[in-house]
A and B are shown apart, each in its own frame.
Chain A
Amino acid sequence: MTAPETVPPENAPAETVLDARGVTMRFGGLTAVKGVDLTVRAHEIVGLIGPNGAGKTTFFNCLTGLYEPTAGEVRYRGTRLPSRPHEVTRAGVARTFQNIRLFPNMTAMENVMVGRHCRLREGLFSAIGRGPRYRRAEAEARDKARELLEFAGIARHGGTLARHLPYGDQRRLEIARALASDPGLILLDEPTAGMNPQETRQTQELVFAIRDRGLAVVVIEHDMRFIFGLCDRVAVLTQGEKLVEGPPAQVQSDERVVAAYLGEPGDLEGLGDPRDPGEPGAPADGSGEES
């Protein structure tokens, strides 16, 4: 499997892929994200954890152009990311959503082909004319989609409507769809929410395989065992601010992290001790993260 063409050859393993500086997002009086810095280097898997409402998804939305940050700057491979979601995707940052957002009435194959959209050029007139170039591009997109479905382990579902897929496969399809745009960085928002331990393990393998394709990964998760077994580096967000950042072992034993999870009055979710990985955090119904 060859690396996608947008990813440069592996001559600079420590190259910075994502560089977010002082990202702040205010909604009226509420500051959801406060001056968060995050750096992601090539081939790195970075975890983003924190109690519900800590601003993790809001931070993701700031990175991907769904929100325009009130202050701060996001750079991807040295250039400032545009502020519109489709331009961010074209620039090379793809994402999945916390509450699955597939195109439910399109087949799995079509879903992935939509993910390929921004890498194709064919416009209205070539679609009507169907010249050889159009047919080649369409065939290549189809092959790419098939390859990605296989990569995600759901090739057998190619012709099934997305809404008919089992839950775990819907999550995988969302990842395959995000990969179709040949990103250099993929942001996964709670990829294992609602999964059983076996599915979580498979997802972990999938994320490693994504890294092996040459991508950098940022992943939001509540499942501590998943995060600490997966990430090279973990950042902890509480109340919109970055609390700690470091290797998993260091974060795991940091008292402030423990306090953030145990000590916040009124924060009923995420009560699990981060040192006890048997306790998956909160269920992912998503409502707490959206604001």
Chain B
Amino acid sequence: MTSALHAFPHALPRALGRVLPPRAALALVLAGSAASVASTFLPWTWTAKFPGDLTVAGYPGGNQVITLTLGLVTLVFGAAACGVRPLARLVPRGSAQALRGLAFAQAASTWYVLAAIAVELGGLANWVAGSWVAAVATLLPLAGALALPDDRREAPPGGGLPRPAEIAILFVLMLGAMLVVDWGLATEHTQQFVGYVLALGFAAWGVNRSGLLEEISGVSARNRVATSLAALVAAVAFAFVQDGDAYLSLAANILIFGAVALGLNIVVGLSGLLDLGYVAFLGVGAYVAALVSGSVFSRYAGTPLPFWAAVLIGIAVAVLAGVLIGAPTLRVRGDYLAIVTLGFGEIFRILVNNLDGTSGPRVTNGPNGVPGVPDLSLFGYDFGETHQVLGFTLGRFANYYLLLVGVIAVVVFVFSRVNDSRIGRAWVAIREDETAAAAMGVNGFRLKLLAFALGAALAGLAGTVQAHVTTTVTPDQYQFLATAPPNSAFLLAAVVLGGMGTISGPLLGGALLYVIPEKFEFFDDKQLLLFGLTLILMMRLRPEGLVPNRRRRLEFHEEEIAEAEGHDVATRTAPAGVKA
């Protein structure tokens, strides 16, 4: 399978390259992209029945916006390929790959829509002149890009831009990325979202291959504080560009999930401890907050505590639970640990189910859980009300979303600081070789317990907010596996899919796990099937996750990276015989 996958992308370009000289190919890319931009100003079908209304001349709508944007971006990269000076930085490692990715993106997303028009409306008769123009126009750049000679090269040692310029670029990029995400979320129809995903996927692939993402991560590595600040600003701005609460509620849930996934990342990604019962800590935090919130269904309704106290108690109880679970389980390693934590996760759920006054002491209200958790009110700001801030309307979920951005900021801060410290190094050492770490003076048990406790604290923190966002806390929200996040299996999947040991990985993985089911409604009951397939494909094609950390990337793709960087692997590593 791999050889076929790798052979195909070489055969076709070679054949096309023989027909088209490079200059003609580039010209074809530019002309084709211009034509596809033009085609978006024509109607693509005659009836407004197709979602997004593609019937208006002179005003691109729906999927046409995607094609239009991609066409313009391709033109920019084409200009870079022509050697326009300031644009050359866009393609540090060669332009052909970027143009191929973008051309694929144009063709794939446009052809998908045209096919959808034909299928859903019943036949090619529903294509109008504009459809044919678009169909042909988007194929031209593809043919041109494939015919381009492969110009992959080592990235030139890019001297950084002046600092203010780099910071400005970071802010623009973050806000731009936020707007792109926002556009994708706001798509009203599955057709638009599929087109969007196709476009984004291919474009990201091409742009990555041409070295732009590397360049950007270089810039952000040089300006860490500015990067975090830009991300924070973009995240806050997201709340202000939303029209309604619909996607903010989704975003708030993603942030809760992301905070827990980052906590799990300490345990799994850094310390290498496979924990299958992690969602229990989220549950601990949520239950504590719900019980002391003053909800009339709570056993402790008479003594509502202020939110800061609820947070502190929630974290403390979660840490306690982490230590209680960790102390006996962390003596076993590997697979055994996974099984034992799985058991403890279920014990939590069954315990809160039974603390209902009949099966056990009356604490948690049993399977009914604690409904009616009141909205938060901090410094007189009622999170349940709609507020007007700077002329923008912030609804209930916008309030919670902004609070959760703060929570995530705290979690990311703690994660990154601890990761880059004596503690973080010891965790990675334990993951790499526990015996050697012990022989180097690392107290394995204590540090593993610390990882458990810190991870639990972060999950507990997220839980205390979750109780107020969802207003109801029930035992079956905290299972090992359910059809929707959050649950332990999905948390682990977010960490593994996103990239173990990284910060953005679990956040991205968590976001995808929420957004994709939301946007692909037609999967319905096949969601878990799809989820499993995605996991298999990811592990086969990109085992290091979407956002690989440096170590993992080297671990899995050593040969390819060395090849791409022009190193000879054999001279850099130990001879095979002694490597064992």
Contacts and interface: CB of A to CB of B under 8 A. Distances in A.
Contact of B423 (A102, A104, A127, A161): A127
A114 interface: yes
A102 B572 CA distance: 16
B435 A66 contact: yes
A95 B423 contact: no
Given A106-B425, A106-B551, A124-B454, A115 B574 contact: no
A275 interface: no
A177 B578 contact: no
A194 B436 CA distance: 20
B377 interface: no
A4 to B, nearest CB: 14
B451 to A, nearest CB: 10
Contacts, number: 118
Interface in A116-142: 117-120, 122-124, 127-128, 130, 134, 138, 141
Contact of A89 (B413, B441, B578): B441
Contacts of B441: 86, 89-90, 115, 117-119, 181
Count chain B CB atoms within 10 A of each CB in A94, A102, A127, A138 and give the residue with the most. A127
Contacts of B433: 101-104
Contacts of B555: 105
Interface stretch (B132-140, B221-229, B442-450): B442-450
B580 A103 contact: no
A99 interface: yes
B421 A105 contact: no
Contact of A86 (B444, B554, B574): B444
A151 interface: no
Interface in B412-458: 413-414, 417-418, 421-426, 428-429, 432-433, 435-444, 450, 454
Interface string A77-103: 000000011100110001101010111
Interface string B33-68: 000000000000000000000000000000000000
Given A106-B425, A127-B421, A138-B422, A167 B438 contact: no
Interface residues of A, number: 47
Given A103-B437, A124-B423, A166-B574, A118 B442 contact: yes
Contacts of A95: 439
Contacts of B429: 103, 106, 114, 117
Contact of B417 (A105, A127, A161, A163): A127
Nearest to B552: A105
Given A103-B428, A127-B422, A167 B440 contact: no
B226 to A, nearest CB: 18
Given A89-B441, A170-B574, A97 B580 contact: no
A123 B429 CA distance: 16
A91 B428 CA distance: 23
A57 interface: no
Interface residues of B, number: 36
A164 interface: yes
A285 interface: yes
A113 B425 contact: yes
B2 interface: no
A64 interface: yes
Given A66-B435, A104-B432, A115 B440 contact: yes
A175 to B, nearest CB: 12
Nearest to A174: B436
B86 interface: no
A110 interface: yes
Nearest to A106: B428
Nearest to B414: A128
A177 B442 CA distance: 13
B439 A64 contact: yes
Interface of A: 64, 66, 84-86, 89-90, 94-95, 97, 99, 101-106, 110, 113-115, 117-120, 122-124, 127-128, 130, 134, 138, 141, 161, 163-167, 170, 177-178, 180-181, 194, 285
19 contacts: A85-B435, A89-B439, A90-B441, A101-B439, A104-B433, A105-B551, A105-B554, A110-B428, A114-B425, A114-B429, A114-B442, A117-B426, A117-B442, A119-B441, A127-B422, A141-B422, A161-B551, A164-B572, A164-B573
Interface of B: 413-414, 417-418, 421-426, 428-429, 432-433, 435-444, 450, 454, 551-552, 554-555, 572-575, 578, 580
Q: Which 7 A-B pairs have the closest CB atoms?
A: A118-B441, A127-B421, A89-B441, A103-B432, A101-B436, A167-B574, A85-B438
